[in-house]
Amino acid sequence: MRVIPPPSLESVLQNADSSIVATFGVLVIALLYSVHVLGSKKQAIKPRRIHNPDSTLPVIGNLLDVTKDDRVHDWLLEQCIKFKGEPWQMNIPGAQPTVIMYIPEMMEDVTSTQFGTFEKGQFQRERMEQMLGDSIVLTDGERWQRQRKAGVKFFTSQDLVEFILTFVLAARDTTALTLAWIFYELGRNPQVEKAIRKEMTEKLDFGKDAYLTAEDIRSLTYLEAVIKETLRFHPVAPFTTRQKTKDTFVCGDIPIKKGQTVGLSIYSINRNPMVWGPDAHEFNPERWIDTKTGNIINVPATKLFTFAAGPRICVGMTLAMMELRVVSANLLRKYRFEVDLSKNDGSYAAGMTLNMQYPLPVNVKRV
């Protein structure tokens, strides 16, 4: 019979050390896991409070605020200024509360960061389908992607109809409205018109009867500033919406439920003092010109939101800007426009676009 010798003291200590190390390792892992779990619980998203306007009434919500007069966009702006970047919601009977977006961070999250889960949605389609059809303005998903890539390349007669509705009707009205607001502001601010004419005299070596092309007017920095300031101050599409396709948080802690509508208040972000400074309520083209270089200051689309931002930024933006530059430059080069402000106070008629409430009487004279 073989006698197995007892283990040496050295081996016992080595095995004991190994057991202690293994046990200690397990304890450390368990401790780290517990810390991670507890930390995760502490870092759980705490939804931010969504405010309601003081004028919100039982049952009818803010129906009176948006229908009692044609100041709906100014009312939205007043609420946005009051809540100072905090989320708030507009309540209309028969619909989920609409959470209003009105600072660049909110706009970027909805239109870019979470673009794939925010659609135009049923709310807009039901209200605009009769006018714009199934065009790029209203479509979502695969059809929108195809139309966006196609641009002006037609595949079927239906594509042609949708192109006309989008690029001719929608673009024509919005560009014409912006031109009207430009001349309204020139009538209200004669020093601005004087500065444009001075710039033309100094930078353009053409006769007054010469037609100015897009290339000819590239150097007209002040005219560009006037156009951009008009687009900021009088956005012809003052409000739009998106609909959420799943539960989410905007800006990390603003809860938006699946199917809920968010309102993108373009009028409010374009006139918000938090975004544009204390003179946001003033028409001031100089804000666009760098005092050191004399060049136009470029701002992100999520700040000047007139053409929207992200993948759904206005497909006709470049064309619209070219039209505004060329038309306004050629008109101001040849004619003087005397606006009768006694019959137009600059108020707008509430609607999908920012139409003037009253006609704009103008006396046109040859320069």
pLDDT at 272: 97
pLDDT at 115: 80
Q: Which of 62-76, 150-164, 282-296, 352-366 has the lowest mean pLDDT?
A: 150-164
Q: For residue 305, which of 91, 9, 104 has the smallest C-alpha distance?
A: 104
pLDDT at 157: 55
Please say if the pLDDT value at position 53 is more than 50.
Answer: yes
Please say if the pLDDT value at position 162 is more than 90.
Answer: no
3-class DSSP state for residue 360? Answer: coil
pLDDT band of 231, cuts 50, 70, 90: very high
pLDDT at 127: 58
pLDDT band of 140, cuts 50, 70, 90: low
Q: Are 82 and 92 in contact (CB under 8 A)?
A: no
Q: Which of 125-134, 180-189, 217-226 has the lowest mean pLDDT?
A: 125-134
Please say if the pLDDT value at position 171 is more than 90.
Answer: no
pLDDT band of 12, cuts 50, 70, 90: very low
- How many angstroms separate the Cα of 182 from the Cα of each of 116, 189, 275? 36, 10, 22
- The more confidently predicted of residues 130 and 175 is 175
Please say if the pLDDT value at position 273 is more than 90.
Answer: yes
Quote the mean pLDDT of the chain.
82
Q: Are 123 and 241 in contact (CB under 8 A)?
A: yes
Question: Domains of the chain, with CATH numbers?
Answer: 63-366 (1.10.630.10)
List residues forming the annotated binding site for heme: 314
pLDDT band of 350, cuts 50, 70, 90: confident
- 42-46, 117-121, 200-204, 351-355, range with greatest mean pLDDT: 200-204
Please say if the pLDDT value at position 208 is more than 80.
Answer: no
Q: How far is 165 from 159, CA to CA, in rounded Å?
A: 10
- The more confidently predicted of residues 143 and 245 is 245
According to DSSP, the β-strands at 248-250 and 254-256 are antiparallel
Please say if the pLDDT value at position 104 is more than 80.
Answer: yes
Q: How far is 221 from 294, CA to CA, in rounded Å?
A: 8
Maximum pairwise Cα distance, the chain: 128
pLDDT band of 120, cuts 50, 70, 90: low
The H or E element that residue 335 is part of is: strand 335-339
Please say if the pLDDT value at position 163 is more than 80.
Answer: no
Q: How far is 22 from 25, CA to CA, in rounded Å?
A: 5
Please say if the pLDDT value at position 222 is more than 50.
Answer: yes
Please say if the pLDDT value at position 9 is more than 50.
Answer: no
- The more confidently predicted of residues 228 and 23 is 228
List residues forming the annotated binding site: 314
Q: Which of 206-220, 227-241, 250-264 has the lowest mean pLDDT?
A: 206-220
